[in-house]
Amino acid sequence: MNNDLQERENWTSKLGFILAAAGSAVGLGNIWRFPYVTGENGGAAFLLIYLIAIILIGYPVMVAEMSLGRKTEKNPVGAFKNLAPDTPWWLVGALGVFTGFVILSYYSVIAGWSMAYIVQAANGFTSEMDFAGLFGGHISSVGEPLLWHATFMGITIGIISAGVVKGIQKAVKILMPILFILLVALVFRSVSLEGAGEGLAFYLAPDFSQLTWYSLNEAIAQAFFTLSLGMGAMITYGSYLSKDDNISDSAGYVLGLDTLIAVLSGFAIFPAVFALGLSPDAGPGLTFITLPAVFAEMPLGTLFGFLFFVLLTIAAITSAISLLEVVVAYMVDEHEWERKKAAQVVGIVIFLVGIPPLLGYSALSDFQFLGMDILDTYDWFANAIFLPLGGLLTAIFAGYVWGARNTADEANKAEGVLSVGNLFGVLIKYVVPVAIGTIMVVGIWQTLAG
Ligand code: TRP
């Protein structure tokens, strides 16, 4: 099939685009990662600097990515080629496509754990269970995690094969409202538990003595990951956006929805964790070890535990499709592959790339990189290097090469409530590059120094 003869698909409504982009943004990053990172960094004070990072760094980068995509109607590689032909800038797009590959491969493994826990929850969480043992046992087995990883990639491939409107847009229109309702139900359950107050205080009353320089780092890295920035996901989604949409507004909605869901996840988790006398700084195990212990103790815990892991899985699906879409759009645009074939071939390769991190808790547990297992190693490269580097170069490109003015004009093209202007120029040209450059150096140095 010759793609040149095909009209590029467009989201059929403003809402379709916002939900798709919000679906990309809202994921494991909000429900699994945000609460544990906040829990490890002292709660409320971290929440505050995270919100500042979202607005000052996340918003301008998101506007830049969406504008680049809509202007060029291309995948990340094509977008840079289009605006800066015969220069090496296309490599930034290529880094993005590569990063999508890496992130989805381990993202799917974690989403697989979440699916396994839907079944686990349905069988009931009871007080006498050893939840650390249960989780350790699951991830260090091979057959089950492999089956769920394959199932999750299968779902993701299925949706992307169906296309932008019939696949992505349809899926998010069904899944995002369900996600929201489930989350609100969990928040009500959590804050109405006896002893919830202490968790609310941890989450809402800032104690700045808990913050370190590293927290700043974590806040910015979290902002990038949760908003799906730094690898061209928003370039790709923006490329299907109609010229009648105002990007300054749309980015605002996506940012607002993503932040709302993250903040609500905190309200679902911290009150419950404190009500049961558990600690909020359990790290990545917060979702899979601490929460099941919470569900085991609370009234209707099995039902809410089941709903929680359904919620987590839904959030992961709507994010995973955006990661796969970046690579598929690249194959379709640049190599003229047919969409279905691209989704299947790329999806299977990503599944395979995910096998080493999956085996990092069993057959490959001897492998260590700077003290990290394979999954953490993939995650570290993505979050400490690839995403910030991609975001930094995208900001420089939008600010200086394409130009802050041109970027803003594209964003403001249609009538809207918000419109980006001079402040956007200052943020994209100076604040974003300096902030990201600093956290990259600090982050890499911290990790190397152990
Ligand atoms: N934002 C998603 C989350 O919070 C993950 C994700 C999807 C992502 N697409 C991305 C992260 C692109 C970085 C880049 O779970």
Q: What CATH number does the domain located at 14-448 have? A: 1.10.4160
Helix, strand and coil in the chain, % to nearest 5 = 75, 0, 25
- Report the alpha-carbon distance of residue 432 to residue 30 in Å, rounded: 22
- Report the alpha-carbon distance of residue 426 to residue 423 in Å, rounded: 5
Binding site membership of 29 for ligand 1 (Cβ less than 6 Å): yes
> How big is the CA angle at 271 (ends 265 and 273), to the nearest 5 degrees?
95
Buried residues in 387-414 as b, exposed as e (16+ CB within 10 A):
bbbbbbbbbbbbbeebebeebbebbbbe
Of all protein residues, the one whose alpha carbon is nearest to atom 8 of ligand 1 is 228
Tokens 């680049």 found at: 68
Q: Which two tokens mark 236?
A: 């790709």
| Cα-to-centroid distance, 228 and ligand 1 (Å) | 4
Give the model confidence (pLDDT) of 57-103 as tens digits.
Answer: 999 999 999 999 999 999 999 999 999 999 999 999 999 999 999 99
Pocket test for ligand 1, best of 222, 322, 350 (most atoms within 8 A of CB): 322
Q: Which two tokens mark 170?
A: 């349809």
Contact call for residues 210 and 43 (beta carbons, < 8 A):
yes
| Cα-to-centroid distance, 297 and ligand 1 (Å) | 32
- Ligand 1 atom closest to the CA of 382, numbered from 1: 13
8 by DSSP, 3-state: which?
A: coil
* pLDDT tens for each residue of the chain, 450 residues long: 444 446 789 999 989 999 999 999 999 999 999 999 999 999 999 999 999 999 999 999 999 999 999 999 999 999 999 999 999 999 999 999 999 999 999 999 999 999 999 999 999 999 999 999 999 999 999 999 999 999 999 999 999 999 999 999 999 999 999 999 999 999 999 999 999 999 999 999 999 998 888 898 899 999 999 999 999 999 999 999 999 999 999 999 999 999 999 999 999 999 999 998 989 988 888 999 988 988 998 889 899 999 999 999 999 999 999 999 999 999 999 999 999 999 999 999 999 999 999 999 999 999 999 889 999 999 999 999 999 999 999 999 999 999 999 999 999 998 888 989 899 999 999 999 999 999 999 888 888 887
Contacts 24+ apart (CB under 8 A), 347-353: 347/153, 347/154, 347/156, 347/157, 347/160, 348/153, 348/157, 349/101, 350/101, 350/104, 350/105, 350/108, 350/153, 350/324, 351/105, 351/108, 351/149, 351/150, 351/153, 353/101, 353/102, 353/105
Tokens 């999508």 found at: 100
| Cα-to-centroid distance, 398 and ligand 1 (Å) | 21
Binding site membership of 27 for ligand 1 (Cβ less than 6 Å): yes
Binding site membership of 228 for ligand 1 (Cβ less than 6 Å): yes
- Report the alpha-carbon distance of residue 160 to residue 167 in Å, rounded: 6
Pocket test for ligand 1, best of 323, 385, 387 (most atoms within 8 A of CB): 323
Binding site membership of 110 for ligand 1 (Cβ less than 6 Å): no
- Report the alpha-carbon distance of residue 359 to residue 354 in Å, rounded: 9
Tokens 């990259």 found at: 440
- Report the alpha-carbon distance of residue 272 to residue 121 in Å, rounded: 17
* Residue 268 CB neighbours (<10 A): 26
**Nearest C-alpha neighbor of 399 from the set 419, 369, 429:** 429
Of all protein residues, the one whose alpha carbon is nearest to atom 10 of ligand 1 is 228
Alpha carbon 92 to its chain's center: 19
Q: How far apart are the first and last CA of the chain?
A: 52
> How big is the CA angle at 140 (ends 136 and 145), to the nearest 5 degrees?
105
| Cα-to-centroid distance, 27 and ligand 1 (Å) | 7
Give the model confidence (pLDDT) of 110-155 as tens digits.
Answer: 999 999 999 999 999 999 999 999 999 999 999 999 999 999 999 9
Binding site membership of 225 for ligand 1 (Cβ less than 6 Å): yes
Per-residue CA distances from 330 to 5, 317, 425 (Å): 17, 20, 29
- Report the alpha-carbon distance of residue 315 to residue 318 in Å, rounded: 6
